[in-house]
Structures are given as C-alpha cells and as structure tokens.
Amino acid sequence: MTSFFKNLCAAALIAAACFAGQVGPAAAQEVTLRVHHFLPPPAPVPKNFITPWAEKIEKESGGRIKVEIYPTMQLGGKPPALYDQARDGVVDVVWTLPGYTPGRFPGTEAFELPFMPASAEQTSQAAWRFYEKYLTDEFKDVHMIAVHVHGPGLLHVKGDGVAKLEDMKGLKLRGPTRQANALLSALGATPVGMPVPAMPEALSKGVIDGTVIPWEVTTPFKVAELVDSHTNFAGSRGLYTSFFVFAMNKPKYESLPADLKAVIDANSGLETSKWVGRVMDEGDAPGIAIAKKSGNKMLTLDEAEVARWKKVAAPLVDQWIEEMNAKGYDGAAMVADAKALIAEYAGAE
C-alpha cells in the first residue's frame, strides 16, 4: 500500500510538472493597452513618439504588452474628454492637454505663462521635474508616464501678418489654453478658444484670422495653405507653450505584475518627457520648410519689439501668482522654480 501511494504521488508530481511546463508561458499575464489621442497618425508626436513608444514596450515586455493606438478621437468624444477617459478606464492611455479643461489643473499653467519656454526638449525636462515637485496631487487620479511642452509657439495669420504689437488689434486668433487666450487678449487680439483639430475649418471659413501654434502642428493640418504669414520672436524664450500629459489609467497600471510595471516605468519619467520634447522640436523643421515653399511671409520681431510685448504681458504673471496663492499654492515660488528649471537646461534668458 505504501509503495502504491508513493508511486501515485510521484505520478501526480510528474503530471503537475508537465502541466506547469505546458501552461506556464501561456499563463504569464498578457495585457492590451488602448492609447487614445486627438491628432492624425502622420503628426510628429503620434508618428515619432507614441508609435515608437508602443513598439518599445511591446518588445521589452516580450510581447506580453500589446498596444492598440486610436488617433483622431476614434474611440469617441472630443479632445477635452481625453483625461477623464483615462481616469475612468474608458481607455488605458491618453495623450492630451490639461489646458483643454481650463482651471482644472492650474499648476500646469506655470509653463504656459508668457515668454516662459525655451526649446521643447529643454523645457520638457524642466516640466517633468516641476511635475514631480508640484503637480502629483493634481494628477493623482492617473499614472503619469510623461509630461512635456511643444516648441515655442508663434503667430500664423492671414493677410499682411503681425510685424508690431499694434498689428494684433482686432485679430480673431485661435488659442489653445486659458493662459494663451489671456495673453492674446492682453496683446489686443480677440481670442477664440478651441482644440487644434477644429482650427483648420475655422481658418478656412473665416471664423478666425489666425492661430497660435508651434511649427510642428502646421504640417498635419496644412496651416501654411490657410494663412499668409508667420511671426516669430527674437530671444531665447518663445511667446508661449502648452503643457501636455501622457497618462495611464491608474487601476490598469496597478493591476500589472511587477515585471510589466517595470517595463512601463523604464519608459516613463524624465527621459521619456525629454524624448517627446525632442520630437516636438524636430517636427518644426518640415513646417518651416513648407511655409517658405508656399511663399508665405516669414517675420521675426526683433528684441526691442519683443520687449514691448513682454511689458504688456507681464501683468498676466502677477495675476496668475495671485490666483495660485488664493488656491493655497505659492505662486511666486512656482514661477521662480519653473524659470530656474528651464534655465538649467536652456541657460539664462
């Protein structure tokens, strides 16, 4: 009897081992991440960051993470809904602008203040460090993969364009965020807030006279065909920028096994934020080339003229500091830290 049971146990152990050998790899947890964003696939960030990022984590996970990318709001909703889609688990990862929901993420506006940004790569590294210091509570409902900005924004306008401050008076200009719209208003224009996908139709129908966007997004939306002039600004800091997030549903991230979390972690943070910023910078060159080829007027305001714009815009910074203080933040410290962090990567103004 003892021999029988010994043999029976041995057989059971062998069977269990064989079964484990059969199902082990298949039982390793696999996950699919659905990434949702608002731009067409050929745009610089979707083409040169989101898709390569997806391919990278698929490879580094040994194929256990699958990524499905849905551009141009294919899963429904408007761009301002993207953050909540990630928070609520409607999708797993989103790329979007917090500024599409004005006032909801006030700390991000430190980077959207007038004449704050250097290059996107430089400023995006500063933005990640600023996020870690000031913004984790604002974004506590998601798992953050990267934050970044676009390259220095500029004016793209129909007609003769903007060669001096007075030329802004009366122009209807599309703006992306609360701070950008406040800046346009202070400079004499009439701001018209809208997500970037709505901009081309608004330009073509004459709803707006122009727009503020970085060069990189002019290419996918064929902006050079819809305006006649482009106005840039002398100096080491641009007119404005917008703050972006690449964020993941928190329960989805927390449900991952440790080794898959490690794959996500290895493709998040400072270096990933720097990567997206670099993609933004590199995307500017094709937009500039197309505008020149189209025969559009290319204007750059000199330092003396830029100083006039900065003087008009300066009260907006003081106003923002007061608003942040009223919300319990130290607004002055946030502005000072944002400038100092950017200077670490870009040098002094």
Judge residue 17's burial from the number of C-beta atoms within 10 Å of its C-beta, 0-12 exposed, 13-18 middle, 19 or more buried. Answer: exposed
The list of the chain residues with pLDDT below 70 reads 1-27
**pLDDT of the residue at 120:** 98
CATH homologous superfamily for 31-150+241-282? Bacterial extracellular solute-binding protein, family 7 (3.40.190.170)
Within the chain, all domains assigned CATH 3.40.190.170 are found at 31-150+241-282, 154-239+296-346
**pLDDT of the residue at 18:** 38
CATH 3.40.190.170 given to domain 154-239+296-346: yes
The DSSP annotation for 216-277 comes to GGGTTTTGGGT-SEEEEE-SSS-S---EEEEEEEHHHHHTS-HHHHHHHHHTSSHHHHHHHH
**pLDDT of the residue at 233:** 97
| Dihedral sign (CA 323, 328, 332, 333) | negative
User: What residues contact 88, with CB distance under 8 A and at least 6 apart?
Assistant: 249
pLDDT in tens, 65-97: 999 999 999 999 999 999 999 999 999 999 999
**pLDDT of the residue at 116:** 98
Amino acid at 12: A
- The whole-angstrom separation of Cα 26 and Cα 32 is 15
Entry pTM: 0.90
**DSSP-assigned letter for residue 140:** T
Identify the H or E element spanning 173. strand 172-175
**pLDDT of the residue at 22:** 38
**pLDDT of the residue at 29:** 80
CB 250 within 8 Å of CB 124: no
Within 13 Å, how many C-alpha atoms sit on residue 108's CB side? 26
**pLDDT of the residue at 9:** 42
